[in-house]
Amino acid sequence: MATRARRTQRRRQVLSREQIIDTAIELLDAGGAGGLTVRALTERLATGSGAIYYHVGTRDELLDTATETVIAAALATEPARAPATPENEIRVVALGLFDAIAEHQWLATRLAVQLTRNPWGPVTVGIFEKIGRQVRALGVPQAVWFVAASTLVHYILGAVSQTRIDGYTSGVETDEDREKFLEAASMAWQELDPADYPFMHAISGQMREHDDREQFLAGIALILDGITNLR
């Protein structure tokens, strides 16, 4: 029963690393990357700026940590409804990331920043490992594991970074907003000079009736098909 205050440790610690990270994510969700300032953090947590640096380091390091936290959570959730084929598992991972970005819009940009700066950091490694295992389960020869996995990962990260929900207003997205956005994009395409942009013009119609999620999965299916052809 030595559980009583060991030594005369003053035990004033009232601020935790986790608490700071959670608050940071809240600020990011509410105001994007610009919403996370050291001052906003200290205000919300009723503390001084030094405390932040003591617990989590630089603002940039905090941003890294926040990203890793959210991604790890996204990779950890396992719905496991559909039969557990490798193809389905890959889809689950991909959609998990997709949804994480829909929920935390700042992730799209920050993910890109982070991958550029440190391509083989914990984020990529985590995603790569999850995808890679399923690639192996697909039964393709070991010699092509790397190409197969990296093509999938690159596609997923590329697609997911470019899937924006609502950039500026940084709030909840209504279906109306979304429709207006697609409408506007589709119209912008049609206004392009058909002589200069024949292709864009030709497919502008497919824009209005286009579902991001569905399109995203169609791309994965296409790549999976290419992979199994490697066998």
Q: Which residues bind DNA (CB under 7 A)?
A: 10, 12-15, 36-40, 46-51, 53-55, 58-60
Cβ–Cβ under 8 Å, residues 97 and 71: yes
Please name which of 112, 128, 94, 78 lies closest in space to residue 222, comparing C-alpha atoms: 94
Q: Least distance (Å) from DNA to the CB of residue 12?
A: 6
Show contacts with a copy of itself in window 109-128 (CB under 8 A): 109, 112-113, 115-120, 124-125, 128
Q: 78 is in the binding site of which of a copy of itself, DNA, none (Cβ under 5 to 8 A by kind)?
A: none
When asked if residue 51 is in the footprint of a copy of itself (CB under 8 A), the reply is no
Q: Which does 171 bind (CB under 5 to 8 A by kind): DNA, a copy of itself, none?
A: none
Binding to a copy of itself by residue 15, rule CB under 8 A? no
Q: Which is nearer to a copy of itself, 54 or 146 (CB)?
A: 146
Yes or no: say if 192 and 200 are a contact pair by the CB < 8 Å rule.
yes
Q: What is the 3-state secondary structure (H, E, C) of 21-85?
A: HHHHHHHHHHHHHHHCCHHHHHHHHCCCHHHHHHHHCCHHHHHHHHHHHHHHHHHHCCCCCCCCC
Q: Which residue's CB is nearer to a copy of itself, number 62 or number 106?
A: 106
